[in-house]
Amino acid sequence: MSNYTELLVRIAARACDDEPTTPLTGTLPAPLPQHTIDRAEEQLGFKLHPLLAAVYRDLANGGFGPDYQLLSLTDGPTSEQAVECYLQARTNHAGTEWAWPEGVLPILTWGCGMYACVDCRSDQGTVLLFEPNPGDPDAAWWIDSPSLAAWFEHYVNDTGWWVKAEEGEDPDEMAPWPEAKERAAD
């Protein structure tokens, strides 16, 4: 198990530098107690990546991050919650060519049906981009970042593809996620 203390401190500093997220208090949403995370993992049927669990437990229940901000894990300040989003995707698309891969938790919506997702089954917590808009389920999954730690580093340092896109630059090419079909069949 990795110690994410230093990275969590940098994420917290960046989140506090961003505009306040909670309208009434102007502060980050409260972190979640471990028993709430445990209950969420039971609902999901898998453990969160350790860094993601640490973010929700030690920093905040979403409400910060790039663009539309990190989803709440469960009830919280964002209009979508990660657990609910995952369960709906798994149920609504089961048995179709758009079946949602097991263990891939949406953590942020980019709008227009696009999500940043963490592969909680990978040791590194690979961050994936789900981009359904071209209409081809075989080309909807991309590797955004090889690890959740690297993805948060991009957030902290303003170096993610989303920054380049916002500035009118062409983002770096993302590699397709080769496990998408196999994992969706799980």
The pLDDT tens digits of the residues spanning 61-113 come to 998 999 888 999 998 766 789 999 999 999 998 888 999 999 999 999 998 89
- Please compute the mean of the pLDDT values over residues 156-175 and round it to a whole number: 86
Q: How many CB atoms lie within 10 A of CB 86?
A: 26
99: CB partners within 8 A, 6+ apart = 90, 93, 184, 185
Q: Which domain holds residue 162?
A: 5-184
Number of residues in the chain: 186
Residue 22's CATH number:
3.40.1580.10
52: CB partners within 8 A, 6+ apart = 105, 107, 118, 120, 125, 148
Which pLDDT score is estimated for 1?
A: 47
Percent of the chain with pLDDT strictly greater than 70: 92
- pTM here is 0.92
Domain count, the chain: 1
